[in-house]
Amino acid sequence: MMFQKNILYFLLTGLTTAWSSLAFGQNPQGFFLNDAVRKKVEQPDYVKHKPSDKPVSLAVNLDAKQTNGLISKYIYGTNSNTYMGPIVDQTELLENIKNLSPKIIRFPGGNLSNVYFWNASKNKRPADVPQVILYGDDRPVKPENLWYGISDDQNSFSLDRYYQLLKATNTAGIICVNYSYARYGTGSAPVQNAAHLAADWVRFDKGKTKFWEIGNENYGTWQAGYKIDTLQNKDHQPEFISGKLYGEHLKVFADSMKAAAKEIKSEIFIGAVMIETAKDKSWEGGITKNWIDGLLKSAGSEIDYYVLHSYYTPYNQNSTPEIILNSATTETAKMVSYMKELSSVYHLPEKPLALTEWNIFASGAKQSCSFINGMHAAIVLGELSNLKFGMASRWDLANAYSNGDDHGMFNKGDEPGVPLWNPRPVYYYMYYFQRFFGDELLKTNSPTNGDVLTYASKFSSGEMGVVIVNKGSSEQVIELDIANFKPLKTYFLYSLTGGNDNGAFSQKVLVNGETTKYSAGGPPNPKKVKALSASSTGKIKFESAPLSVQYLLIE
């Protein structure tokens, strides 16, 4: 009996080792695959449908054996923020987030992370924080409103509620600590004080969070601490930040935080703020241009992963659907290319990439709240899979409507004509992607039609998940030819299209023809929308409408 137990132990250990080796062989995701588990899929409810009898306009060839590495489960993440309200008592919203299954939620926000004090309250402002905090832009100089982790304000999302959200949705966290306190703090050792504050958060967290960022977009004029009052500073820091200075400070943070993690017998990974591409940012001046050089020369070996942000389209431009959709492929590729170039130039190993904020900057026609932004999200998720990102978190769960320029996935209560927490179209595109895309990437051919993008994957249970994006203005009749797959194929199909409201930027999404009764959004419950299903002994043929996305689960 003992012999049998030992054999079973070695078999299980061997399987675990093999899976671990496979995971680590898929760099540059690196440690983002540490807790990878094989993904299984549930067959959806369905109705039978008749495959298209129209002539094929585009053939897509797939091979079930042509695998291309693992897909990190953390690419489906999102952002929370401290001003979206308590939310943990909002049952319908929590259920939607749980169904979305983002796997990771960032906290406490974007720019406000650099004026956030996790262990303080409004009545206990830290004594070494000046009333006025300087920035590099031309905003009026006035007393700073800090953000606090300890709060019972019904308009605030406190630290305690954040941890409740993670537990309720079975989601991991990624935390952005306040780096800028190291700049504007008026104590005798501001860098050490700020690093100690971050390390204490690691201790308080007790190993729940593995991924930590040091600051948010600190190269930007819009960040607290970009500029400081040198008369109040006690450790002779320069008036303006630099990449070199940030790198030197990052080493102090990393040392303090990792020592704290060791105390609680945990392992954490530290991310550094990077410029995402080599694009010309002359309007930002020398600080931005020289950020990467100073950072990597001073702290390159101390960085565990690179933190990138991208809002893809030109800032505040009334971008067309074509510009928006094309940006999802071009800009994602630029980021990866630039990071690889940096590794070569600075003789550093490639680091895992974390796109901890992403969305679009397009404005003026309600682009952000439209189905086009949903299509953009589907393409981004496909590109993140192909290009082996370790993690990504979309900005954000809830924000402010701003006449349709809202980055929030859910209506916070200020969008006319729809209920509180109504999901925007992007929710549906990300929901079906996460649900019907596997954990192992498949290689795809490159169709001659540049309007059609294909992303293919496998599940551990053998099914294939395929996403087809038609970003063109013409209908396509697509034929999937899958090699090395069993002859009888039953497939389940969801097709997502826009409505006929708001010109090119419909605020609605139709899922297999079903949508909302309100002026914006989609079906009340995407889980209850039935798939279209059919069987084939050969190739699979279906129609792809203009500006549509098809999600296929193939048994």
CATH number at residue 85: 3.20.20.80
**Predicted confidence band at 19 (pLDDT cuts at 50, 70, 90)?**
very low
Q: What's residue 289's pLDDT? A: 82
Task: Provide CB contacts within 8 A for 37, sequence distance 6+.
Answer: 73
For the segment 526-537, what is each residue's pLDDT rounded down to a tens digit? Answer: 999 999 999 988
Consecutive H or E run containing 13: helix 2-24
For the segment 319-358, what is each residue's pLDDT rounded down to a tens digit? Answer: 999 999 999 999 999 999 999 999 999 999 999 999 999 9
Q: What's residue 280's pLDDT? A: 58
Q: What's residue 456's pLDDT? A: 97
Alpha helix (H) ranges present in 268-424? 286-289, 291-299, 321-345, 371-386
In the predicted model, is pLDDT for residue 23 greater than 60? no
Which has the closest alpha carbon to 201: 274, 94, 124, 113?
Answer: 113
**Predicted confidence band at 285 (pLDDT cuts at 50, 70, 90)?**
low
In the predicted model, is pLDDT for residue 11 greater than 80? no
Task: Compute the average pLDDT of residues 68-75.
Answer: 96
15, part of any domain: no
**Predicted confidence band at 21 (pLDDT cuts at 50, 70, 90)?**
very low
220, part of any domain: yes
CB 326 within 8 A of CB 313: no
408, part of any domain: yes
In the predicted model, is pLDDT for residue 444 greater than 90? no
177, part of any domain: yes
Q: What's residue 489's pLDDT? A: 87
CA torsion, points 132, 134, 140, 144, in degrees to nearest 10?
Answer: -40
In the predicted model, is pLDDT for residue 411 greater than 90? yes
**Predicted confidence band at 445 (pLDDT cuts at 50, 70, 90)?**
confident
How many Å apart are CA 180 and CA 191, to the nearest integer?
9
In the predicted model, is pLDDT for residue 1 greater than 50? no
Which residue do the tokens 């905090």 mark? 133
In the predicted model, is pLDDT for residue 18 greater than 70? no
Q: In a 3-state reduction of DSSP, which class is residue 273?
A: strand
Which residue do the tokens 């899976």 mark? 19
| Phi, psi (rounded to 5 degrees) for 379 | -65, -45
Task: Compute the average pLDDT of residues 197-226.
Answer: 97
Q: What's residue 431's pLDDT? A: 98
CA torsion, points 178, 179, 182, 187, in degrees to nearest 10?
Answer: 10
127, part of any domain: yes
Q: In a 3-state reduction of DSSP, which class is residue 481?
A: strand
Which has the closest alpha carbon to 454: 351, 317, 329, 352?
Answer: 329
pTM, two decimals, is: 0.94
Other CB atoms closer than 10 Å to residue 529's CB: what's the count?
20
**Range of 269's domain?**
73-318+331-363+390-439
Task: Compute the average pLDDT of residues 406-428.
Answer: 97
CB 477 within 8 A of CB 55: yes
For the segment 542-554, what is each residue's pLDDT rounded down to a tens digit? Answer: 999 999 999 999 9
For the segment 158-191, what is each residue's pLDDT rounded down to a tens digit? Answer: 999 999 999 999 999 999 999 999 999 999 999 9
Q: What's residue 20's pLDDT? A: 38
Residue 228 structure tokens = 């400081």
Q: In a 3-state reduction of DSSP, which class is residue 314?
A: coil
**Predicted confidence band at 446 (pLDDT cuts at 50, 70, 90)?**
low
- Write down the mean pLDDT value for the chain: 93
Task: Compute the average pLDDT of residues 449-472.
Answer: 95
Say how many domains are in the chain: 1
Q: What's residue 401's pLDDT? A: 97
Task: Provide CB contacts within 8 A for 178, sequence distance 6+.
Answer: 113, 114, 115, 116, 117, 118, 194, 197, 198, 215
Q: What's residue 154's pLDDT? A: 85
Residue 95 structure tokens = 């259920």
In the predicted model, is pLDDT for residue 370 greater than 70? yes
- For CA atoms 186, 191, 192, 196, the dihedral sign is positive
229, part of any domain: yes
Higher pLDDT, 132 or 22: 132
Q: What's residue 2's pLDDT? A: 35
Average the pLDDT over each of 2-11, 252-261, 428-437 and give the range with the smallest value. 2-11
Q: What's residue 151's pLDDT? A: 94
Q: In a 3-state reduction of DSSP, which class is residue 177?
A: strand
For the segment 121-145, what is each residue's pLDDT rounded down to a tens digit? Answer: 998 899 999 999 999 999 999 999 9
CA distances from 480 to 54, 106, 447, 454, 551 (A): 14, 37, 11, 10, 13
In the predicted model, is pLDDT for residue 233 greater than 90? yes
Residue 410 structure tokens = 């859910």
How many Å apart are CA 60 and CA 540, to the nearest integer?
10
117, part of any domain: yes
How many Å apart are CA 61 and CA 65, to the nearest integer?
12
| DSSP per-residue string spanning 187-246 | SSSHHHHHHHHHHHHHHHHTTS--EEEE-SSTTSTTSTTSB--TTT-SS---SB--HHHH
451, part of any domain: no
**Predicted confidence band at 3 (pLDDT cuts at 50, 70, 90)?**
very low
